Chain A
Amino acid sequence: MTLFSRLLTATLLALLAVAANPAAAQRKLTDIPAPNPTAELADMLVAEGYEVNLFAADPMICKPLQMNFDPQGRLWVSSSSVYPQIQPGEVANDTVTILEDRDGDGQADTHTIFADGLLMPTAVLPGDGGCYVANSTEMLHLADRDGDNKADQRRVVLSGFGAEDTHHIIHTFRWGPDARLFFNQSIYIHSHVETPAGVKRLNGGGIWRFLPRSLTLDVYARGWVNTWGHAFDQWHRSLVTDGAGGEGIYYGFPGAAYQAAVGTPRILHGMNPGSPKYCGLEFVDGPHLSDDDQGTLITNDFRANRVCRFRLAEQGSGFSSEQLPDLIRSRRVTFRPIDIKLGPDGAIYIADWYNPIIQHGEVDFRDPRRDREHGRIWRVTAKGRPLTPRIDFTRRSIPELLNDLATQSAYGRDMARRVLWSRDPVSVRQAVTNWLAKLDPAAASFDRLRLEGLRLFQAIDRGSVSDINQPLLTEVLGSTDPRARAAAARIAVDWADRLDDPVRLLTSTVTDDSMLVRLEGVRALAAIGGPEAAALVLQVVDHPRDDALDYAVWLACRELQGDWLPAVVAGTSPMSTNPGRLLFAIEATAATEAIPAVVQLLQSDSLSAADRNAAIDCIARFGGPAELQLAFKAAVDPATPPARTAALLTHLLESENRRRVQPAGPLTGLERLITAANPAVAKAAIEAAGRWKVETAIDALARVASDTKRPAPLRLPAIKTLGQFASEAAVKPLDQLTRDQSTAMALRIAAVAALLNQQPQVAATTAAGLLADPLAEPNQIAIFKAFLSRQGTPAVLAAAIEANQRPLPASVASVGLKQLAGSGRDEPTLKATLKRLQGGSEQPMGRRSFSAAEMAEFLAFVQASGSAPRGHEIYRREKLQCVKCHRVGKEGGRVGPNLSTIGVASQPDYIVNSLLEPAKNVKEGYNTLVVLTVDGQVATGILTIRADDIDEESAGTSLMPVGLVDQLSRQELADLTCYLLGLGREGL
């Protein structure tokens, strides 16, 4: 990655990490309630039909970070008082505690410190005679060999995990049904983990999966900001939440990538856009809870102090998700639900981190209000419904455990599986075979149970040929329920080294009726690899597909490039005669080597018109100079319809901009297009003439630039393009335009800007003259911007202003200074000139701030007389441009922080300060970046520039322009504040 793209990535990371700019205002938090569990409980609003009781609290536990039950029904909790950062001299002594409710009254009656001496243990998962613990940079296994419930053996299982941010370190441990330990890391973490199969690296967020028995480690999915929730449904499908994302529930599968994934040009999206920040995730799947709740997802919005619910519906290759009314809401700022699990009695258990402060990026590490000692586990039960009988699964026989797999309880199935993995594999294999033989094929549960049986073979696989069960796998691949077929495809990958012909076994998946099966089939084939697998994967392109499936094929094309591309290049691939597959594969990989095959394809008579166009488009996007010439000829062919011409020119321009490749040969014919009647064609042709420096097009450009009959949207680019040519034929019309009184001022100014390239002095003299005349402010701004965006020219403008006989009005100087400040450029000469002309009498533009007393007075005024509806009107005013950059719900831009929940997340004074002085509270990722391109252009703000076009870059100021609210009256500012304060409170 280049420096610039890394910087952009980092900026993007920061941008996502603070999407709703939540806790910055926590600095101002003053009203902290007493840590009384009874009062905390009383502050909870609990959904109808449920009740909440305290299961455990400090001092039994402190600051719970993750919790997981073991097959005996005991709750393991990891806790940290060291977070967020160890102090010099402090001894790291964080703990793992086991809580037990022996009498079954719903309250923990014993607690045992299983392990101490830990450093920020962000996860704990019982298993393998002890527990796995996330210990900052390493995953430990702590074993209890003598059975006294105290760890007596400490083993580093994996190490090399990053700790660049201590709420991002590895977390969210969960056993998958395949006996893998799934765990997550968040956005700022860079991990480099040595395993006997090589070093596994993951930069940025993602989900790892790890098989402790074989130390097999790989990245399951990538991206997210704070991947703090991961749950499996009955069919092993992953659902994921993000503690800083804004899209609710996400669907996970091998290779999936979501926002902020590092090194991935394409990402998928969550299912609930605008629904932010969830931590922990669990399926409601157990008889204690009502039938209506079964299959819903429960998760925590720790930031808004609530426990939320979602309902999924099967859709395409994945799901759709709908948010349901909250399970718990609290007004208490210290209620911080961060983990959620179903327990042995069927109740819902919620780990409450209990803290008024939720961040360490925004709030000082050593802020005294940071709570380091409290913490609660709450228990939610359904009123009037019987609890699930508690079972010690470790005492169950293998046949009993197999029957447990049939229960309608995710907890019971999970524990039964975990105990079965620890039993003698030979006995389990035999028992599973017998159990499978007795299943009733007519039963509704048949497909799921048979899959459970197959899973056990997978989970206890020790790597020998006799451990796999190919007949059973084949059967499950033929299940009636597509979810079983899909799960089986994934299992085939684990056994690919021992199956007779895994690719053949998966052949039917790519033409399966179910998109889910096709998705898993594609991912499985991509993992297995080989030319046959690649050919199968591309068959999926023949049929309609949703975004996730399309992504899966796209990713497979990239992963298997070495398996399909050589045959295409050699001309021996059957793909070469299938335009859909060939073009998809090239689009996915940008494999320019395959373009000759597309050229070949064009020779075919049987090609449909649509395929022919697609092929030419593909050539225009990925071809070399000679091939681009083909596309260019098609574009300038008079027989080509204008819309096609415009599309082709756009593709060709993209090739120039992205790849620096332009059509070979003389580019004749462009001049005709420049003067074409179709504006889209003319506009693209004008741009192309500039990008390709087509000298023969200058006359046509000059004609358009000077033609008073043509619309400004065409004349402007023609003027701009003329500025790229040094010849007299280009300069002369520009010079004329700058002086022509009858020409619209915007065009004259554009001509000044264009002239800057070749004749800066002339342009500056003209500009100085224009600025001394009465001129509308937007035109003044345009002139200053033109000079500020060209390296070396602001000083020339300053000289011209000084030399001009008519002095620049002070108001114009003020405009110039504001533009200068906003550009982030340091231009001392121009600044000095403008300052002098401004006279120094005016206050700096757009600066106004409140003292503490003024703030208090203003906030009281907001409360008394602010109107949110009026504020909404002001917010939407075009002049203020709020909507252009900020997002509220589904409306607005994505340039600035998302404001959907700013009212809940931020304190009033913070909001007011951010309006008055954007630079004061600028968030990382929302400052501007000043970039000098190799051709001397200076750009500021949001931009897309090729990395190798960048010559120099420096940090600018806040993206939010200063003085936006200057024109507002006090009442209007109060209304706007009132509106913003209400955002995010709708759900509370």
Chain B
Amino acid sequence: MNVSPSPSWKLSLTALVLVLGTTGELAAAEPAGGAGSQWQLHDGERVVLLGDTLFERDGQLGLIETALVTAFPEADLEFRNLGWGGDTVWADSRGVFDPPAKGYARMTKLVDELAPDVIFIAYGRNESFAGDQQLDAFGKQLDKLCVDLCHQDSREPSGRPRLVLVTPSPFEQQTTCPNADAKNAVLARYAAVIRKTAVARQAGLVDLFADWPTAAAAEASTTDGMHLSPFGYQTAARLFAAAAGRQLPDDWATRTASVRQQINAKNQLFFHRWRPANETYLFLFRKHEQGNNAAEIPRFDPLVAAAEADVRTARDALPAAGDLP
């Protein structure tokens, strides 16, 4: 969480802000509101994925990100995955040595530093374990998160990042996940709050909960009843693309494997950049001992940038759909 921008990072941020000035206006020109509203990604945009294990594990599997990269072939996109296991709209996983509120502040600051054009927000499942009694609080905090992330109170609409809210996929009945129906009954009410917030904040929506296929599938969607299996991630990836009005071909996952490989390599580098091990010594209360080693961390930036280029090269090298055997 302690990404202190290096000079080069700052420079690129400045450049991005300049770009944002124009893309922001473009964004304002397109329809932004409405329930289940369409959303689009544009050339040169930076996307932040913020949420719980759904995004954290996609940082390793890369299926959702690959779907978006290849569903928008006309756009060069940059993704920054800030998923964190066990997290909630209160940033319960991000406090580290501090209370969650401080982790929340660091998270929003980090998102600001990344200067995204679009932020996907995927929360609600972990919160749903507290049942209906926390539903109102969840709604209020999700709304606050939306306001804080796009600086609703202080920025002109054209200067705000666009938001896309994501509902959790349903629980799946497994031996490790008994009573899935009861869990889903609660989760449905959390999903409804997310939908309502998307409307209120004129955000886009990916409705994994409502749109998840109900027909029996060849494989389990989850590894344990709640976390998506590679098969489940493919389903989710399709729903992400479909929510933007883009259909992925059936053989999509296999034919984009080369892109996914580069995306995963890039995400691993970015993980070491934004959530490095040994934070205690690099940035926190023992930094007087090994804080000098923190100089290594910004050295991931050029590696991430090079990996981004590799993603694009791999994407550009993909055969057109019709060329496949």
Contacts and interface: CB of A to CB of B under 8 A. Distances in A.
Interface of A: 1, 6, 10, 14, 84-89, 120, 136-137, 155-156, 159-160, 162-166, 169, 188, 190-201, 213-215, 360-362, 364-366, 462-463, 924
Contacts of A201: 86, 92
Contacts of A164: 96-97, 277-280, 284
The residue among B60, B87, B281 with the most chain A CB atoms within 10 A of its own CB is B281
Interface in B125-175: 125-126, 129, 171, 174-175
17 contacts: A85-B277, A85-B278, A136-B277, A159-B56, A165-B277, A165-B278, A165-B280, A166-B278, A190-B97, A191-B86, A192-B93, A196-B174, A198-B129, A361-B281, A361-B289, A463-B178, A924-B285
A194 B53 contact: yes
Nearest to B130: A198
Given A85-B276, A164-B279, A194-B125, 13 more contacts: A85-B278, A88-B272, A88-B299, A159-B57, A163-B278, A165-B277, A165-B280, A195-B226, A196-B171, A361-B280, A365-B278, A365-B293, A366-B293
Contacts of B175: 213-214, 462-463
B95 interface: yes
The residue among A87, A89, A191, A215 with the most chain B CB atoms within 10 A of its own CB is A215
Interface in B54-69: 56-57, 60
B94 to A, nearest CB: 9
Contacts, number: 138
Contacts of B95: 190
A193 B52 CA distance: 10
- Main DSSP-derived SS at the B contact region: loop
A196 B176 contact: yes
Please give me the 9 A-B residue pairs with the lowest Cβ-Cβ distance, nearest first.
Answer: A192-B86, A160-B85, A192-B93, A196-B177, A88-B299, A198-B129, A163-B277, A215-B176, A199-B86
Nearest to A168: B280
A668 B290 CA distance: 59
Given A159-B56, A190-B95, A196 B224 contact: yes
Given A88-B300, A155-B223, A196-B224, A6 B84 contact: no
Given A88-B303, A364-B293, A192 B281 contact: no
B126 A194 contact: yes
Contact of A361 (B171, B275, B286): B286
Given A88-B300, A159-B53, A159-B56, A199 B289 contact: no
A303 to B, nearest CB: 18
B30 interface: no
Contact of A364 (B53, B60, B280, B292): B292
A675 B300 CA distance: 72
A84 B276 CA distance: 11
Contact of B99 (A6, A165, A360, A364): A6
A586 to B, nearest CB: 28
B85 to A, nearest CB: 3
A2 to B, nearest CB: 9
A119 to B, nearest CB: 8
B85 A214 contact: no
B322 to A, nearest CB: 34
A905 to B, nearest CB: 16
B223 to A, nearest CB: 7
B296 interface: yes
Contacts of B292: 364
A159 B303 CA distance: 25
B250 interface: no
Interface string B278-309: 11110011101110110011011001000000
Interface of B: 52-53, 56-57, 60, 84-88, 92-93, 95-99, 125-126, 129, 171, 174-178, 183, 223-227, 272, 275-281, 284-286, 288-290, 292-293, 296-297, 299-300, 303
B126 A196 contact: no
B290 A361 contact: yes
Contacts of B183: 196
B227 A194 contact: yes
Given A10-B285, A163-B278, A192 B99 contact: no
B236 to A, nearest CB: 16
Contacts of A87: 296
A6 B97 contact: yes
The residue among A88, A162, A165 with the most chain B CB atoms within 10 A of its own CB is A88
Nearest to A24: B289
A582 to B, nearest CB: 31
A366 B178 CA distance: 48
A14 B223 contact: no
Contact of A14 (B96, B171, B176, B285): B285
A196 B226 CA distance: 6
Contact of B85 (A10, A194, A360, A362): A194
Contact of B93 (A160, A195, A215): A160
B53 A85 contact: no
B96 A162 contact: yes
A137 B92 CA distance: 16
B277 A199 contact: no
B86 A194 contact: yes
Nearest to B126: A199
Contacts of A136: 277
A365 B92 CA distance: 30
A85 B98 contact: no
A360 B281 contact: yes
A89 B99 CA distance: 33
B296 A88 contact: yes
A199 B91 CA distance: 13
Contacts of A195: 224, 226
A538 to B, nearest CB: 29
A363 to B, nearest CB: 8
A89 B276 CA distance: 14
Nearest to B56: A159
Given A164-B284, A165-B280, A89 B290 contact: no
A193 B278 contact: no
B65 to A, nearest CB: 17
A159 B285 contact: no
B203 to A, nearest CB: 24
A1 B86 contact: no
A214 B177 CA distance: 8
The residue among B92, B178, B183, B296 with the most chain A CB atoms within 10 A of its own CB is B296
A366 to B, nearest CB: 7
B277 A166 contact: yes
B286 A14 contact: yes
The residue among A192, A201, A361, A366 with the most chain B CB atoms within 10 A of its own CB is A192
B53 A924 contact: no
Contacts of A89: 299, 303
A199 B129 contact: yes
Given A88-B296, A164-B96, A362 B280 contact: no
Nearest to A137: B85
B293 A85 contact: yes
B171 to A, nearest CB: 7
Contacts of A86: 272, 277
A361 B288 CA distance: 10
Contacts of B300: 88
Contacts of B96: 162, 164, 190
Given A136-B277, A164-B284, A463-B175, A192 B290 contact: no
B166 to A, nearest CB: 16
Contacts of B52: 194
A360 B288 CA distance: 13
A796 to B, nearest CB: 35
Contacts of B277: 84-86, 120, 136, 163-166, 169
Contacts of B88: 199
Contacts of A165: 277-278, 280-281
A85 B177 CA distance: 36
A197 B296 CA distance: 39
A165 B223 CA distance: 29
A120 B277 CA distance: 10
B278 to A, nearest CB: 5
